[in-house]
Structure 1
Amino acid sequence: MAVENGGGTQAVERAMSLLACFSEAKGALRVSELCAMTGLGQSTVSRMMSTLDRMRFVRQDSRTGLYHVGPAAISLGTLALNSSPVFRASRQVAQNLAHRSGLGANVAELDEFTLRYLCNFEGPRAPKSFSMAGRSAPLHATALGKALLSAMSAEQVSEYFQAPLPQLTPRTITDCQVMAAELEQVRARGYASEVEELAFGRACIAAPIRDNLGAVVAAISMSGPLSALDPRAPHEDLALLIIEAADEISVALGHSPALRDDVFISL
């Protein structure tokens, strides 16, 4: 939440807090919604949004008055993605995986105690009308998140579960001990799975991506509706696909299978 009073740097903080609202929203936003999300007054928000509009970081619909992300913000996001070694190493691999499996292929990296999507591609059996790049998701409710959690120390996993975690569906794991047992399975078989823990009717399998030091820095997944992907059924072929894709990206990042694979993520 932004602060109303202050000097120089406060203006930058306010502008960034307003732009950050769009990463949490699913569409365009009204001034009143931006006020509620940031705690800033209406006059402040209106003035700041006019400035951001003039600089093309947002655009206002002249008919509805709603604001949406502008081309300058999109350009910055694209530059950020292209500067990511994981994105560059994984983009084509994920695209090939989606084509080969017919499912969605997603790559995400750790962002403190959440995950942030770098790219996603749709297969014919798992269509999407939007991009996941830049969006975040909880670690405990996704296969991608479990793949990332599996490389953390027991202390780090325990720290993550100290905060209240959202129970997104009845199947979402919010108990640290239950997750610890789940992560042991992930480490043993080399991939994570999730069935209706993030959303009803959806499932996902994921494998960790390692850097040149052997540390897990990201994960890649295949996702889709239960009609196309049910991890409770035999799926050795899909598991092999996702592990091979993760290994291909890891090698591109400089990882050697000869390195120890028990390097914990450093937060």
Structure 2
Amino acid sequence: MNFFGVVYLATSKSKKLLQSVQNGLTIIKLFTKDKPLWGITEISRELNLPKSSVSRIVADLVDEGYLEKSVRQYRLGLSLLCLAGVLTTHLEIHREAVEPLNLLVNRIGETAHISILEDDRIIYLLKTECKHPVRLLSYIGKDNPAVCTSSGLIMLAHQPMEKTIEVISKGLPQMGPNSFTNQEELLQELQYIKEKGFAICIDVLHIDVVSIAAPIRDYTGKVIAAVSAAGPRQRISESKMMELVLEITKTAEAISKRLGYLESVFIDI
């Protein structure tokens, strides 16, 4: 087979895969409170799809836990409940963090973020700009390597060791001049960060930029997000760093309390 034939087959397979995904999502959307159960024939008729295609897609959705079989019909599976729980948590963090984050930026005069950890990267859920922002190219939804950010480090410091090792084993991206190059040194730094309760990065993600982060906990005491602030080195002296640490830590604690965390009840392990 020539080159063009290979390209055609690859493109054709990609289109079929995309169509299957779209059909799968369309099938899931059929399930409502008023109509929680659907059969293969009903789905086929409703969506005008071949029964063979519906049967195959439904079988895949069952295998992944997104649908469950109930006699000859199907209902939504628990995997969707897990996804809903993740979304609800993220929405709750966003809702409870807006006011404290705005107050933080007003007090310190630097841009601040709320981030979550997804695999080996952090994702910004919320961002509040200061009056004189630095060009950091950060925005809501953007991701960065966890090991190159203060928010990523503070969250990794509170992960189970196997999770931390898994992230580190994927590599240490070299972003700024002070990016970590040695896994053992990084693990030692994470232990130090956990003991201190905050993380400081200088020239790690961007040159001439300082970022500081503190952990946000949920009602169980688990670290689920981080609040961080970043600014240029010329504005953030060593003495100001400790002022920022205090303010950022206070903000993280305030958000944690809004999420139901009671410090006197939980002991971090």
Q: 2:168 & 2:129 partners in 1: Cα distance?
A: 32
Q: CA deviation at 1:139?
A: 0.7
Partner of residue 26, structure 2: none
Q: State the identity %.
A: 26
Question: Aligned with 1:188: secondary structure?
Answer: helix
Bigger helix share: 2
TM-score when normalising by structure 1: 0.66
- Of structures 1 and 2, the larger Rg is shown by 2
Whether 2:19 is the aligned partner of 1:11: answer yes
> What letter is aligned with 1:257?
E
Partner of residue 194, structure 1: 201
Question: Aligned with 1:257: secondary structure?
Answer: coil
Q: CA deviation at 1:186?
A: 1.2
Question: Aligned with 2:12: secondary structure?
Answer: coil
Q: CA deviation at 1:113?
A: 2.0
Whether 2:188 is the aligned partner of 1:165: answer no
TM-score when normalising by structure 2: 0.66
> What letter is aligned with 1:114?
R
Deviations 1:12-35 (A, max 9, x none): 769xxxxxxxxxxxxxxxxxxxxx
Whether 2:126 is the aligned partner of 1:119: answer yes
Partner of residue 73, structure 1: none
Residues 140, 174 of structure 1: 8 Å contact kept: no
What are structure 2's unaligned runs of at least 5 residues? 1-9, 23-86
What are structure 1's unaligned runs of at least 5 residues? 15-79
Q: CA deviation at 1:131?
A: 6.0
Written as runs of structure 1 = structure 2, the 5 A alignment for 1:126-205 is: 126-127=133-134, 132-205=139-212
Deviations 1:106-150 (A, max 9, x none): 110111221110111112343559761010011100101011111
Whether 2:211 is the aligned partner of 1:220: answer no
Partner of residue 111, structure 2: 104
Residues 172, 180 of structure 2: 8 Å contact kept: no
Q: 2:97 & 2:134 partners in 1: Cα distance?
A: 20
Distance 1:166 1:128, change over 3 A: closer
Q: CA deviation at 1:166?
A: 1.5
Runs of 4+ aligned residues of structure 1 deviating over 4 Å after TM superposition are: 80-83, 127-131
Deviations 1:11-64 (A, max 9, x none): 3769xxxxxxxxxxxxxxxxxxxxxxxxxxxxxxxxxxxxxxxxxxxxxxxxxx
Question: Aligned with 1:5: secondary structure?
Answer: helix
Question: Aligned with 1:87: secondary structure?
Answer: helix
> What letter is aligned with 1:262?
D
